[in-house]
């Protein structure tokens, strides 16, 4: 039999793609899927027949990713779509985020779970305002790796000068960004396939890796926080059966650090302390639990613990407070951000009411300048606010921990998600 | 520094368990949709893991088309028995008898679309406010746009252009009276992930998934096994071929594929080299390019 165990050792890379409307995102994803042999015959037949129907000259690989009827009719992407492919080295999850009117909202959504962002730049136009927006959002959401794909190299005669101009343009801008850990540049043609999966024969001057090779080899182990131990309680397991009469387990997903049986723990916000008795992964007892594992813990002492509480170790404590500052991205066209309204805040496994104490500033995401005279938040606006919540939240800064530093705001009237927040 | 990297399967398992626990916590009366196919079996198995040693806190809901593979029903009952869960059956036949759904006619008639009526009816009659499904985003292009927590309006409809953004792993399950949610714990799994996980965990599946000699007729490019629902039509030749099923749908239209894969290792190898998508053998998806999108908007799984 063939060796199927190899697949069990694969790791996972979550990536997001960003670019302006005609930068060729869908074509790039289609090309990645097609050239890495992750497409199927019946899919390709459907794409061929759709391409013919639209009168496209070549097989339009972008159609591999365009999902809904309205999108194909209008040639746009409406909403974040998720794509999957695998090579023998890695499994990949792509959040494909569209570049139309709700695009900041969509890119923030796609970026929130990504380890890597691909930002497409049209080699003919160079670094434009939108490139800077995309890079700003990627850095705001603290994506570890950014890959600038200089696309449409075929339209600039595969010119090294055109490529270098983009690289220089981006570097100048990126010096103003915070948080960016790792930026790579790759000249590609998604349409023709240069440097996507196969090395280009048209760009001898480029000695770096292809996009796929980069995606397969980039180090992804650094996204999780393994220092500050955090365990938001999602659910209390009480079987109340004869066999497990006294069992009381606290179920959740480790959001940071490492927990072991015998560890001294503190429950927030009550402040009670005890020790971990056992840690279970379903039926099995485990010796340690780290993020992002879902486990169930039991404690030495019977203390009151419920959903919304957070278990941590006794060192490196989180903030426990009703007041916090945050960067937010506003998602609603109809609901306004005001300091009169009460919103619902969802943070880890907790839900509370939240009021805006102060709107500090908005960010002009093209120039990164602060706007302090216009504090009207509209769809896609990003800025800084101060919040007060009805109960204490147990949090860290987003910089320290993505899981305990993030929240959403919900409009209590419509139940719509109206903002994403990152605690400063 | 120790190595705290998780394999992709462990990450997917952990994510699915997280989603199942969120559903249990955020909804008043959630249920799991269970067809007896591999995806719903894996989802229910993950629910067992998520709440162990307590029982699965969701009833299993089977939308019975009346066009079942007999083995799926046996399997379903054995699963319910083993995990001591509650089973709720919604019958498409009853919806037809009550005049709520109308049987399709014609050569490729199936009961796939009729399930929407029965499903929405079952959700309403049982006051379920959320129904978990084994849908995966890699299956089909409309499913690629799904959220983990997917809002349905009071008509049970999905509005793909007006979905709530879903950030990090913070799910917004808030709703008005009469609305409900679907939740999809294995959204991020691919067909390959399912098979690898089935193997790694030793999960039992119906034997339909494994190759053996079956008597089949070829109809519309699909191999259909001859049984009480499928009888050869004039001019159709019954052949005995090594086949297996990649999906379980309406038994009158779900085709088998030629395969020698009699064990999990062979299936994993076959999936790795497959040239057709797994739903390529389902006539319901072949009707038009948007058939899944249209059905989902009306309230399909």
**Over chain A (424 residues), what is each successive 10-residue block's mean pLDDT?**
51 88 82 80 76 75 69 64 86 81 80 93 90 89 93 95 94 80 92 92 95 92 80 95 88 96 96 96 93 95 95 95 96 86 95 95 86 87 95 95 96 94 96
Query: Are A307 and A349 part of one and the same domain?
Result: no
Whether the CB of A420 is below 8 Å from some CB of chain B: the reply is: yes
| CB pair distance less than 8 Å for A82 and B137 | yes
Per-residue confidence at B233, pLDDT binned at 50, 70, 90? confident
In a domain, A225, yes or no: no
**Assembly ipTM:** 0.91
Query: Are B179 and B243 part of one and the same domain?
Result: no
Q: Which of 172-211 (A) contact B at CB < 8 A?
A: none
In a domain, B261, yes or no: yes
> Nearest CA to B79 among B60, B64, B104?
B60
Query: Are B248 and B270 part of one and the same domain?
Result: yes
Residue B28 structural domain: 8-194+289-298
Closest CA in chain A for residue B261? A1
Query: Are B100 and B163 part of one and the same domain?
Result: yes
Give the DSSP H or E segment for A61.
none
Domain finish residue from A313, A333, A358: A313
What is the C-alpha to C-alpha distance for residues A40 and A59, in angstroms, rounded to an integer?
14
Contact status, residue B166 vs residue A420, Cβ threshold 8 Å: no
To the nearest whole Å, the CA of A371 is away from the closest chain B CA by 26
Structure tokens at B295: 């059905």
Contact status, residue A170 vs residue A131, Cβ threshold 8 Å: yes
Put simply, whether the predicted model's pTM sits higher than 0.95 gets the answer no
What is the C-alpha to C-alpha distance for residues A182 and A65, in angstroms, rounded to an integer?
28
Query: Are B156 and B75 part of one and the same domain?
Result: yes
> What's the number of domains chain A is made of?
3
Across residues B221-242, what is the average pLDDT?
85
In a domain, B1, yes or no: no
In a domain, B2, yes or no: no
Domain finish residue from A187, A217, A247: A217
To the nearest whole Å, the CA of B120 is away from the closest chain A CA by 22
What is the C-alpha to C-alpha distance for residues A328 and B286, in angstroms, rounded to an integer?
44
- Cα–chain center distance at A400: 15
In this prediction, residue B186 carries a pLDDT of: 97
CATH number at residue A199: 3.40.50.300
Residue B284 pLDDT greater than 80, yes or no? no
What string of H, E and C letters represents the secondary structure of B174-192? CCCCCCEEEECCCCCCCHH
Query: Are B223 and B136 part of one and the same domain?
Result: no
R_g (Cα) of chain A, nearest Å: 24
DSSP B192-244: HHHHHHHHHHT----GGGS-EEEEEEEETTEEEE-SSS--PPTTPPPEEEEEE
Query: Are B38 and B170 part of one and the same domain?
Result: yes
DSSP bridge partners of B215 = B240
What is the C-alpha to C-alpha distance for residues B160 and B151, in angstroms, rounded to an integer?
10
Burial of residue B233, with CB atoms counted within 10 A of its CB: 0-12 exposed, 13-18 middle, 19 or more buried: exposed
Query: Are B133 and B258 part of one and the same domain?
Result: no
* Cross-chain CB nearest to B21 (options A12, A235, A417): A235
Q: β-pairing, A382-395 with A350-364?
A: antiparallel
Structure tokens at B101: 């759904």
To the nearest whole Å, the CA of A13 is away from the closest chain B CA by 9
Residue A410 structural domain: 319-423
Query: Are B169 and B21 part of one and the same domain?
Result: yes
Whether the CB of A418 is below 8 Å from some CB of chain B: the reply is: no
Structure tokens at A114: 């990504």
- Cα–chain center distance at B242: 24
CATH number at residue A240: 2.40.30.10
In this prediction, residue A3 carries a pLDDT of: 41
Query: Are A49 and A97 part of one and the same domain?
Result: yes
| CB pair distance less than 8 Å for B188 and A82 | yes
Contact status, residue B143 vs residue B136, Cβ threshold 8 Å: yes
In a domain, A223, yes or no: no
Whether the CB of A235 is below 8 Å from some CB of chain B: the reply is: yes
What is the C-alpha to C-alpha distance for residues A341 and A164, in angstroms, rounded to an integer?
49
What is the C-alpha to C-alpha distance for residues B84 and A317, in angstroms, rounded to an integer?
41
Structure tokens at A394: 């147990």
Helical axes B38-51 vs B70-83, angle rounded to 10°: 0
Phi, psi (deg, nearest 5) at residue A31: -65, -45
Which chain B residues contact residue A417 at CB under 8 A? 164-167, 172
- CA separation, residue A395 to residues A339, A360, B47, B63 (Å): 22, 21, 28, 43
Query: Are B260 and B157 part of one and the same domain?
Result: no
- CA separation, residue A226 to residues A88, A112, A394, A395 (Å): 27, 19, 18, 16
- Cα–chain center distance at A242: 44
Whether the CB of B248 is below 8 Å from some CB of chain A: the reply is: no
Domain finish residue from A167, A189, A217: A217
Query: Are A108 and A194 part of one and the same domain?
Result: yes
In this prediction, residue A4 carries a pLDDT of: 43
DSSP B88-119: EEEEHHHHHHTTSS----STT--STTTHHHHH
In a domain, B148, yes or no: yes
In a domain, B125, yes or no: yes
Query: Are A375 and A325 part of one and the same domain?
Result: yes
DSSP bridge partners of B216 = B225, B239
Query: Are B32 and B94 part of one and the same domain?
Result: yes
Which chain B residues contact residue A111 at CB under 8 A? none
Query: Are A287 and A415 part of one and the same domain?
Result: no
In a domain, B200, yes or no: no
In a domain, B201, yes or no: no
Alpha helices by DSSP H, listed for A194-261, are: 211-217
Whether the CB of B154 is below 8 Å from some CB of chain A: the reply is: no
Query: Are A262 and A145 part of one and the same domain?
Result: no
Contact status, residue B205 vs residue B35, Cβ threshold 8 Å: no
Across residues B277-296, what is the average pLDDT?
62
Which chain A residues contact residue B293 at CB under 8 A? 67-69
Query: Are A252 and A280 part of one and the same domain?
Result: yes
Q: β-pairing, A145-151 with A342-347?
A: unpaired
To the nearest whole Å, the CA of A224 is away from the closest chain B CA by 9
Query: Are B176 and B72 part of one and the same domain?
Result: yes
In a domain, A57, yes or no: yes
Query: Are A201 and A305 part of one and the same domain?
Result: no
In this prediction, residue A66 carries a pLDDT of: 63
Contact status, residue B101 vs residue B92, Cβ threshold 8 Å: yes
Residue B223 pLDDT greater than 70, yes or no? yes
Whether the CB of B177 is below 8 Å from some CB of chain A: the reply is: no
| CB pair distance less than 8 Å for A294 and B18 | yes
In this structure, the number of other CB atoms found within 10 A of the CB of residue A14 comes to: 22
Higher pLDDT: B179 or A106? It is B179
Q: Dihedral through CA B167, CA B173, CA B179, CA B184, nearest 10? A: 70
What is the C-alpha to C-alpha distance for residues B133 and B126, in angstroms, rounded to an integer?
17
Q: β-pairing, B212-219 with B239-244?
A: antiparallel
| CB pair distance less than 8 Å for A93 and B164 | no
Contact status, residue A92 vs residue A15, Cβ threshold 8 Å: yes
* Cross-chain CB nearest to A11 (options B5, B142, B199): B5
In a domain, A222, yes or no: no
Q: Which of 328-367 (A) contact B at CB < 8 A?
A: 331, 344, 346-347, 349
Query: Are A242 and A301 part of one and the same domain?
Result: yes
The helix/strand count (H/E) of chain B reads as 9, 10
Alpha helices by DSSP H, listed for A62-194, are: 69-74, 103-111, 129-140, 160-174
Query: Are A187 and A323 part of one and the same domain?
Result: no
Q: 3-class SS at B160?
A: helix
Q: 3-class SS at B31?
A: strand
Q: Which residue has the tokens 């890959």?
A: A147
Q: 3-class SS at A370?
A: strand
Query: Are B144 and B240 part of one and the same domain?
Result: no
| CB pair distance less than 8 Å for B7 and A10 | yes
Structure tokens at B24: 């249990």
The conformation of residue B301, written as its DSSP 8-state character, comes to: -
Whether omega before A246 lies within 30 degrees of 0, making that bond cis, reads no
Query: Are A331 and A348 part of one and the same domain?
Result: yes
Residue B116 pLDDT greater than 80, yes or no? yes
Contact status, residue B196 vs residue A8, Cβ threshold 8 Å: yes
| CB pair distance less than 8 Å for A68 and B145 | yes
* Range in A169-178, B121-130, B254-263 with the lowest mean pLDDT: A169-178
> What's the number of domains chain B is made of?
2
Query: Are A249 and A384 part of one and the same domain?
Result: no
Beta strands in A245-332 (DSSP E): 249-253, 258-259, 264-268, 273-281, 284-285, 289-290, 294-299, 310-313, 319-330
pLDDT in tens, B26-74: 999 999 999 888 999 999 999 999 999 999 999 999 998 888 888 888 9
């Amino acid at each position: 039999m063939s060796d199927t165990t190899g697949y069990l050792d694969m790791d996972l890379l979550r990536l997001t793609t960003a670019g302006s409307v005609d930068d060729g995102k869908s074509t790039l994803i289609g090309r990645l899927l097609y050239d890495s042999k992750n497409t199927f015959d019946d899919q390709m037949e459907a794409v061929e027949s759709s391409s013919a129907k639209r009168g496209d000259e070549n097989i339009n690989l972008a159609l591999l990713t365009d999902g809904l009827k309205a999108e194909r009719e209008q040639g746009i992407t409406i909403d974040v779509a998720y794509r999957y492919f695998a090579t023998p080295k890695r499994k990949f999850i792509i959040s494909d985020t569209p570049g139309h009117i709700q695009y900041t909202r969509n890119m923030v959504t796609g970026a929130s779970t990504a380890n890597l962002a691909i930002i497409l730049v049209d080699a003919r136009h160079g670094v434009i305002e939108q490139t800077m927006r995309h890079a700003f959002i990627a850095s705001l959401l603290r994506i570890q790796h950014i890959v600038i794909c200089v696309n449409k190299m075929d339209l600039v005669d595969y010119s090294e000068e055109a490529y270098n101009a983009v690289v220089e343009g981006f570097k100048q801008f990126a010096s103003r960004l915070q948080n960016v850990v790792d930026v790579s540049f790759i000249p590609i043609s998604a349409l023709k396939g240069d440097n996507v999966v196969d090395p280009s024969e048209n760009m001898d001057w480029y000695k770096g890796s292809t996009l796929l090779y980069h995606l397969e080899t980039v180090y992804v182990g650094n996204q999780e926080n393994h220092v500050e131990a955090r365990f938001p309680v999602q659910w209390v397991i009480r079987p109340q059966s004869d066999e497990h009469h006294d069992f009381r387990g606290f179920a959740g997903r480790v959001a940071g650090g490492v927990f072991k049986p015998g560890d001294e723990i503190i429950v927030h916000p009550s402040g009670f302390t005890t020790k971990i008795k056992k840690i279970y992964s379903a039926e099995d007892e485990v010796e340690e639990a780290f993020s992002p594992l879902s486990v169930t813990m039991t404690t030495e002492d019977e203390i009151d613990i419920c959903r919304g509480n957070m278990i941590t170790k006794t060192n490196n404590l989180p903030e426990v407070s009703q007041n916090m500052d945050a960067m937010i991205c506003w998602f609603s066209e109809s609901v306004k951000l005001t300091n009169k309204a009460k919103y619902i805040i969802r943070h880890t496994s907790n839900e509370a009411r939240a009021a805006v104490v102060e709107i500090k500033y908005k960010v002009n995401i093209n120039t990164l300048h602060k706007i302090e005279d216009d504090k009207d938040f509209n769809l896609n606006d990003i800025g800084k606010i101060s919040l007060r919540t009805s109960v204490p939240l147990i949090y860290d800064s987003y910089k320290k921990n993505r899981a305990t530093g993030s929240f959403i705001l919900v409009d209590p009237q419509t139940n719509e998600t109206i903002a994403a927040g990152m605690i400063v | 520094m120790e190595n705290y990297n998780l394999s992709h399967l462990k990450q997917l398992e952990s994510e699915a368990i997280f989603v199942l626990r969120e559903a249990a916590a955020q909804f008043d009366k959630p249920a799991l949709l269970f067809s007896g196919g591999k995806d719903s079996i894996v989802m229910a198995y993950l629910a067992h893991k998520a709440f162990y040693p307590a029982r699965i806190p969701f009833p299993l809901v089977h939308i019975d088309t009346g066009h079942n593979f007999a083995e799926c029903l046996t399997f379903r009952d054995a699963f319910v028995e083993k995990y001591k869960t509650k089973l709720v059956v919604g019958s498409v036949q009853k919806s037809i008898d009550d005049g709520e759904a109308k049987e399709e006619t014609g050569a490729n008639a199936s009961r796939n679309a009729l399930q929407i009526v029965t499903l929405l009816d079952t959700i309403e009659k049982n006051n379920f406010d959320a129904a978990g499904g084994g849908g995966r985003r890699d299956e089909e292009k409309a499913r690629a746009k799904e959220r983990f927590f997917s809002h349905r309006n009071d008509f049970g409809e999905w509005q793909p252009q007006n979905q709530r953004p879903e950030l990090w792993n913070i799910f917004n399950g808030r709703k008005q009276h009469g609305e409900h949610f679907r939740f999809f714990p294995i959204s991020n799994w691919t067909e390959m992930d399912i098979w690898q996980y089935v193997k790694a965990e030793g999960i039992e599946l119906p034997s339909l998934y494994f190759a053996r000699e079956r008597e089949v007729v070829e109809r519309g490019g699909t191999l259909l096994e001859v049984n009480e629902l499928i009888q050869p039509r004039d001019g159709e030749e019954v052949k005995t071929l090594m086949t297996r099923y990649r999906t379980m749908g309406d038994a009158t239209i779900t085709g088998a594929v030629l395969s020698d894969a009699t064990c999990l290792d062979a299936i994993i190898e076959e999936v790795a080299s497959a040239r057709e998508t797994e739903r390529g053998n389902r006539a319901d998806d072949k009707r038009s390019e948007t058939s899944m999108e249209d059905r989902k908007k009306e309230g399909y799984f």
